[in-house]
Amino acid sequence: MRPSDSNILNGSKSSSIEAAVSALRDDELVAIPTETVYGLAARASSRTAVNKIFKVKGRPSNHPLILHIAKISDLEKWTKDLPNVARTLVDHYWPGPLTIVVQRNEKVCDEITGGRNTVAIRCPDHKITTELLKRLDDAIVAPSANRFGKVSPTTAEHVASDLGDDVKFILDGGECAIGLESTIIDCTTTPPQLLRAGAITVEQIKTECLITVVPASGESRASGMLDKHYAPECKIELFDDRMRAETRLLELRQHGTTSEILDFADDLAQYAHSLYARLRDADERNIEVIIAVKPISAGIGSAINERLQKAANRS
């Protein structure tokens, strides 16, 4: 059954932002648009509100949440001992799709970090959410606004069909510009480590900031680092080139399996932007197999391939 859309508010109206701020102050959850994906937001200073996120998402309590702030100067309110690497990264990329992991201060509650002494933090680049954060005068914590392990939402309608009335309001800010979750860099290690690939790449960081970021090692700290994540109902098969994908399509169709090809040729930005919407759409139309042609692993292509691989893993 399709849940009611009545809690979707037009995010470009001042009154909608006001209603969302007031709900957050009352410890309710609100879905918010960002340039990456839609977030399920709770007021960061309220343990009650933060706990609701885990319940609604079905997310294990040891998976820490990302804190979202309005501006760079709010960093000091929630962190301590900021390393130079973190400073350089935020000066270059905030507001934007980059999350840093740094030492937290005592204002950050254990529920947010899963008891760790570090916190993940970012400054989103979306005018509706920036305005909301300014009026709230607090930070929010916001994982993606979907049930744990499933495909992230990139429109307000996706959030409504996943979470329905479990969220007080959904602020509609249109389609997310990027469509994939933020890059996460752990700045507490030397050298810094990439915990999740995103629109901002390690190659770009090397060129623009002269900082070398290495692959993550050690325990699995980001939920995106689980082997299976971002999973639709349909099966996903990955192919390196279009011709093989077409051969496979014929084969599957001959066996009566409903299937289709996902391919954006060289348009990496469009691939990222549309990937999750296409997977959701395939599920709605009961497609059994998506045959995905992998993009080149350059730029945001690495992040797309990472998501595709995890979505393809069945266990």
> Which of the choices ligand AMP, Mg ion, none does residue 304 contact, using the CB cut-off of 5 to 8 A by kind?
none
Contact segment (CB under 5 A) with Mg ion among 50-58, 102-110, 144-152, 163-171 equals 144-152
Residue window 61-100: x/- pattern of binding to ligand AMP, with contact defined by CB under 6 A: --xxxx----------------------------------
- For position 122 contacting ligand AMP by CB under 6 A, the verdict is no
Query: Given the complex with Mg ion, which of 144 and 155 has the nearer CB atom?
Result: 144
Long-range contacts of 18-22, Cβ-Cβ distance < 8 Å, separation of 24 or more: 18/135, 19/169, 20/132, 20/169, 20/171, 21/132, 21/135, 21/136
Of the ranges 5-13, 91-99, 138-146, 232-240, which one interacts with Mg ion (CB under 5 A)? 138-146
Q: Name the token pair of 286.
A: 């009961």
223 counts as binding ligand AMP under rule CB under 6 A: yes
DSSP 26: T
Q: Which one of 17-25, 28-36, 142-150, 257-265 is the stretch in contact with Mg ion (CB under 5 A)?
A: 142-150
* CA–CA distance, 13 with 194 (Å, rounded to integer): 37
Stretch that binds ligand AMP, among 42-50, 118-126, 157-165, 169-177 (CB under 6 A): 118-126
- Sequence-distant (6+) residues with CB within 8 A of 282 are 232, 234, 260, 290
- Whole-number Å distance between alpha carbons of 26 and 41: 13
Task: Please give the Cα distance from 135 to 89 (Å, whole number).
Answer: 26
Return the number of the residue (118 or 129) whose C-beta is nearest ligand AMP.
118
Q: 276 — alpha (psi -120 to 50), left (phi > 0) or beta?
A: alpha
Binding site for Mg ion (CB under 5 A): 144
The site for ligand AMP (CB under 6 A) is made up of: 63-66, 101, 113, 116, 118-120, 143-144, 181, 184, 195, 221-224
